[in-house]
Amino acid sequence: MNFKISFSPKFLLILIISGCGETNYLLTSDTPQILEGFYGFRWTTPMSVVDSEFPKRTGAAPIDSLNRYNTSNFSEAYFLGGLTSLCQFTFNETGLTSVKMVFNTNHMTFEDELFKLKEKLADVYGEPRESLEILDYRTLPEYLIRYSWAESRLDITLKLDYTVEINAFSFSPLLRPIFNK
């Protein structure tokens, strides 16, 4: 028995448009809108793509000793003209969920690095919201000053040890569910 299979041109066109190809996980800009992604990757990017593409794109060195099942760590990556000492990507089952960058500074250089990075981020994301740590006499503060954008999905923080830290999230930390304690 000979079966003849024929497809209409409309069916083939629909199949090609909808079913073929791979999802594009890479962005063309290093500083895209925070809702779309961050540091050149979409929020849906899997860990394997970041592990292979990030060193190629930035020249960063992988830090395998810090990697866990859901994190990829790199050093010596450039971001907005600054050199990171740590760049950590965190993933879940849907892909990339957060990016953390740490810039080592000291008491003499933190101000220049913090405000240089803040101004460059403000050029892309607009004016930030500034917050100071609320001091409680019973506990040490976590940071000295923080600037945030887009419901805290992006922030830059000056820590107590004078490191400057940038965090970007695929979700809003302010809109997380609140559970009664």
Greater model confidence, 169 or 132:
169
Q: Please calculate the CA angle 167-146-91 and round it to the nearest 5 degrees.
A: 15
Greater model confidence, 156 or 181:
156
The predicted pLDDT at position 151 comes to 86
Q: What percent of the chain has pLDDT over 70?
A: 80
CA dist list (Å): 48 to 23, 35, 52, 92, 167: 14, 22, 6, 12, 21
The predicted pLDDT at position 74 comes to 95
The predicted pLDDT at position 18 comes to 43
Range of the domain at 35: 29-171
pLDDT score of 33 more than 50 = yes
Residue 2 domain-assigned (yes or no)? no
Q: Residues 98-107: what's their mean pLDDT?
A: 93
**What is the SS3 assignment for 175?**
helix
The predicted pLDDT at position 3 comes to 52
The predicted pLDDT at position 142 comes to 84
11 CA to centre of own chain? 39
Residue 56 domain-assigned (yes or no)? yes
Distance CA 148, CA 46 (A): 26
Greater model confidence, 148 or 176:
148
Residue 133 domain-assigned (yes or no)? yes
**26-35, 69-78, 105-114, 141-150, range with the lowest pLDDT:** 26-35
Count up the domains in the chain and report the number: 1
Give the CA count within 13 Å in the CB-facing half-sphere of 131.
16
- Tokens at 135, concatenated: 């001091």
Distance CA 117, CA 121 (A): 6
- Tokens at 82, concatenated: 């600054």
Residue 22 domain-assigned (yes or no)? no
Distance CA 81, CA 25 (A): 24
Residue 23 domain-assigned (yes or no)? no
The predicted pLDDT at position 128 comes to 92
Summarised one tens digit per residue, pLDDT across range 5-23 is 555 555 444 444 444 444 6
Residue 87 domain-assigned (yes or no)? yes
DSSP 102-163: EE---TTTHHHHHHHHHHHHHHHH-SPEEEEPPPBTTB--SEEEEEEETTTTEEEEEETTS-
Residue 1 domain-assigned (yes or no)? no
Residue 12 domain-assigned (yes or no)? no
Greater model confidence, 70 or 26:
70
Greater model confidence, 110 or 22:
110
